[in-house]
Structure 1
Amino acid sequence: MRVSQADILIVPGYKGAGPEHWQTRWERRLSTARRVEQAEWSKPVREDWVKAVAEAVNASTRPVVIVAHSLGVATTVLAVPHFRHHVAGAFLVAPPDVANPKLRPKHLMTFGPYPREPLPFPSFVIASQNDPFCDYAVAEDIAHAWGALILDAGNSGHIDAESGHGPWPEGLLTFGKFVSRLSTDPLPRPDLTT
């Protein structure tokens, strides 16, 4: 699949993605990308966020590729049972540990714990060894539960503008390779291990 054949849904996390965040930059660069808007970026309500993602997926006219960061990953995974439109794949970056009682702000825990069923579409998780919001071992465990491939991003922090990932060209290159292996056809699930 080519990026131009998909509706690229950008799903930011807590507080949204500012102008220097890689998600915002990708949204400007990719012609078929659009952001899932939330009513309250700084006070996320699980039901509202999940509904917004499901509505964006279901309103799409092409196969959907989701690009989620941080709390956007949790929101995406929680929205899966409400998807009625073909999702070709999900690119999930820096999932937070929403079951960790030390997570701050504390209301982010309302998005946990993560469902542990395999995702019904190909997915790719990118996690950092020193993400302050999730131990790598936790990210690796949930990625395996979802049937996702996982990429160890080394010591990359939360993979956001604050950790030096403004343009994040390596991420965009990885995303392009991921999309190229997806299919516009809902069946069969592509083999992403080669």
Structure 2
Amino acid sequence: MASSTPVIIVPGWRDSGPGHWQTLWADRLPGARRVRQDDWITPSRAAWVRTLGETIEAAGAPVVLVAHSLGCMAVVHLPADLRDRIQGALLVAPADPERRAVLSDFAPAPCERLPYRSILVASSNDPFCPIRLAGAYARSWGSEFVRLQDAGHINVESGHGEWPLGLALLQSLAGDLALGQAATPHPVSSTQE
């Protein structure tokens, strides 16, 4: 069954490699689109937001975004005219662009409330964003906050391949939309990001 609302996968810095839940979902969710940045290593906010915006516009309908790490920052930096095309967003393990010089173009993070429903998932021991900062992001963006205990950066390295909890959160976010059922489960790859 095809999804009535396009799902757009928004990877973070250095992309989401083989075995990452975003990669698995992009392959398994009917009609899912994945944002492909020109430069995954030295990200430019203007370029990343432009590419994300083009992907949203190409979808031609209200979309649900599934962002990880720096992808979350690209989402919250979208201009108002593109935010109107978003039905909801799952924001997972947001980055702290002030912690790494290579990500500083995304700082400061916007503080205004998002005009659509969003769920922010963060871990108590994420090495790239302290849980208190993730909670502050959730409050300022008006996101529902899901705190995971000792889940790292919620990626392959921290043991999150298929990540069924994340898929359940996406289905919760999408409400009664037909997101489609995963076909045959893929084995979790041992490849690290």
Q: Normalising to structure 1: TM-score of the pair? A: 0.86
* Pair 3,91 (structure 1): closer, same or farther in 2 beyond 3 Å: farther
Match of 2:108 among 104, 113, 132: 113
Aligned amino acid, residue 26 of structure 1: W
Q: Identify if the C-alpha distance between structure 1 residues 181 and 125 changes in structure 2 by more than 3 Å, giving closer, same or farther.
A: farther
Q: Secondary structure, in 3 states, of the residue corresponding to 1:14?
A: coil
Shift of 1:131: 0.3
Q: Following TM superposition, by how much is the alpha carbon of 1:109 offset from its aligned partner in structure 2, in angstroms?
A: 1.6
Amino acid at match of 2:156: A
Secondary structure at 1:152's aligned position in 2?
Answer: strand
Q: Give the partner amino acid of 2:8.
A: L
- Superposed, which structure 2 residues align to 1:1-194 within 5 Å? 4-83=3-82, 86-99=85-98, 103-104=99-100, 106-180=101-175
Distance in 2 (CA, whole Å) between partners of 1:23 and 1:15 is: 13
Tell me the alpha carbon deviations over residues 86-115 of structure 1, each in whole angstroms, 9 at most, x when there is no partner. Answer: 21001000001123xxx23x1202101111
How many residues are treated as equivalent by the alignment?
177
Gaps spanning 5+ residues in structure 2: where? 178-193
Query: Partners in 2 of 1:54 and 1:72 — Cα distance?
Result: 12
SS in 1 for 2:43: coil
Cα deviations by residue, 1:135-172 (Å, 9 ceiling, x for unpaired): 11110011110111010011100000111001111211
Q: Structure 1: which 4+ aligned runs deviate by more than 4 Å? A: none
Following the alignment from structure 2 to structure 1, what is the Cα–Cα distance between the partners of residues 7 and 113?
A: 21
CA contact (8 A) 1:129 1:157 kept: yes
Give deviations 1:72-92, integer Å, cap 9, x for gaps: 000111114350752100100
Q: Secondary structure at the match of 1:48?
A: helix
Identity of aligned pairs, percent? Answer: 44
Q: 2: CA distance between counterparts of 1:82 and 1:12?
A: 22
The alpha-carbon deviation at position 12 of structure 1 amounts to 0.1
Shift of residue 3, structure 1, vs aligned partner: 7.6
Q: List alignment gaps of at least 5 residues for structure 1.
A: 183-194
Structure with more relative contact order (C-alpha pairs < 8 Å, separation 6 or more): 2
